[in-house]
Amino acid sequence: MAWILGLTGGIGSGKSTASAWFSLAGYPVVDADAISRSLTYPGGAAIPAIANEFGADFITPEGAMNRAKMRELVFDDPKARERLEGVMRPLIRRASLEALERARSLADAAGKAFAVFDCPLLCEWPEARTVVDRLLVIDLCEEEQIRRVALRSSLTPERVRSIIRAQIPRQARLAQADDIIYNGGSLEDFRSALAALLERYLARAD
């Protein structure tokens, strides 16, 4: 039966780039951020609890969670972040477990050795860590995280720093890793490192 590769790293480290690479290579990917977003779209399962916990101000006229407003609140206020995670975490967990079972079946049917679980908080959430068989950490220094996130979004360096501070410290994340890819080089270097790692995984499976 296919095993589960946990893929994690700090904000902007390169998880989505790695997931897309594995997906192109035919490995099923479960994306916890995408699951989290789908729970907070209009009519999403988290919307009633968010309205109840934070008030109608945090819901857009279309009925989605107001992400920008929530982001401004929770990354400056650990208690508010705990409340949001209290709502989101069990829902993300349940939906992820279901998606991982589907991904495992897809991998089995396609003859792939593993499926990928891309989750930014794998090291922060002990229950998430237990569903993966091997943990790959994408590592990047803080300055480059800030630079890359700023390039692709409107987040200020201060906001990216506050998000990094809300995440597990870099060394503690690295200490949990089975495999580490440092993504401080070019995209080509990153893809080569992923290909080399995949070779090792496939050799292990034989």
Ligand X SMILES: Nc1ncnc2c1ncn2[C@@H]1O[C@H](COP(=O)(O)OP(=O)(O)OP(=O)(O)O)[C@@H](O)[C@H]1O
Would you tell me which residues interact with ligand COD (CB under 6 A)? 11, 32-33, 36-37, 67, 70-71, 74, 81, 84-85, 88, 92, 119-121, 163, 166-167
Looking at the Cβ atoms of 28 and 120, the one nearer to ligand COD is 120
Position 6 contacts ligand X (CB under 6 A): no
Shortest distance in whole angstroms from residue 102 CB to ligand X? 22
The whole-angstrom separation of Cα 125 and Cα 81 is: 14
- For ligand X, the binding residues in 147-176 under the rule CB under 6 A are 148, 152
186 annotated as a binding-site residue: no
Residues with Cβ within 8 Å of 94's Cβ and at least 6 positions away in sequence, in order, are none
Q: Which of 65, 104, 120, 125 binds ligand X (CB under 6 A)?
A: 120
CA distance 26 to 30: 13
Cβ-in-10-Å burial (0-12, 13-18, 19+) of 152 comes to exposed
Map the footprint of ligand X across residues 53-92, applying CB under 6 A: none
List residues binding ligand X (CB under 6 A). Answer: 9, 11-17, 33, 120, 148, 152, 183, 185-187, 190
Q: Which residues are annotated as a binding site for ATP?
A: 12-17
